[in-house]
Amino acid sequence: MKKLIIFDLDGTILNTLTDITNSVNYLLKKYNLPLKTEVEIKKYLGKGPRYLLEMAVGKALSELQYQTYYNYYDAHYDIHKMDNTVAYEGFHEVFQTLKKAGFLLAVCSNKQHSATVDLMETLFKGVFDYVIGTTPNIKRKPDSQMVEIIIDQLQVAKKDTLYVGDTEIDMQTAINAQIKKVAVLYGFRERQDLEQFRPDYYINSPKELLDIVKDVF
């Protein structure tokens, strides 16, 4: 029987905060707008690039404005996305253990699809069985569509699937997909931000996931 664990990316597998902040500030500086701190940017992450940029510039953007801003941001991020980004400590060992135990592993992110794939290929080549990020024709989290695609493509039952994420969006995604959820407490949110979604489990470090997996499966 196949077992699947789906991971969010930013704030769950990778600490991408510095590189994202730097790319946002590159855009803001270009338009003479106030720069943002990492503490501020952290609050904007999880809902996709449009939400991130609208919160950073402090206003709703027309489609033309968004595309213009996004192109500047994305061009910078594409070059600099690995300047400071690292995996949270312990994940290389965790993934190795899970793979040896026969688990299928997937990434489901509201980050741009191309960046999501590039980061996983660079840092965890050959580890993940399916990787999906934001594209124009697929609904972003918290809609369950990306999770449903992963489950369908890998042909795994929902009862044999576990979702791991660090934001409110992740928790709601798991609820919408009707799968068990693990709330990450070392990422971009605090416990009080996630408690209302009643996670099935909490983890304070990646290695704690291994004990949870034993309990679930």
List the domain boundaries for the chain: 4-15+85-216, 17-80
Using alpha carbons, select from 209, 6, 176 the residue that is nearest to residue 107: 6
Where does residue 97 rank: exposed (0-12), middle (13-18), buried (19+ CB within 10 A)? middle
- Provide the 3-class DSSP secondary structure of residue 131: strand
Q: How high is the pLDDT of residue 217?
A: 84
Count of Cβ atoms closer than 10 Å to residue 171 Cβ: 24
CATH of domain 4-15+85-216: 3.40.50.1000
CA distance 191 to 166: 9
List the structure tokens of 76: 């910078």
Q: How high is the pLDDT of residue 215?
A: 84
CA distance 84 to 20: 10
Using alpha carbons, select from 178, 183, 173, 174 the residue that is nearest to residue 159: 178
What are the residue ranges in the chain where pLDDT is below 50?
none
Q: How high is the pLDDT of residue 46?
A: 87
pLDDT digits (tens, 9 = 90+) for 41-63: 999 998 889 999 999 999 999 99
Q: How high is the pLDDT of residue 48?
A: 86
pLDDT digits (tens, 9 = 90+) for 119-141: 999 999 999 999 999 998 999 99
- Class of the 17-80 domain? mainly alpha
Q: How high is the pLDDT of residue 167?
A: 96
What are the DSSP E strand ranges found in the chain?
Answer: 4-7, 14-15, 86-87, 104-112, 130-134, 161-165, 180-184, 201-203
Q: How high is the pLDDT of residue 200?
A: 97
Q: How high is the pLDDT of residue 118?
A: 94
Q: How high is the pLDDT of residue 1?
A: 84
Within 8 A by CB and 6+ apart from 192, the residues are: none
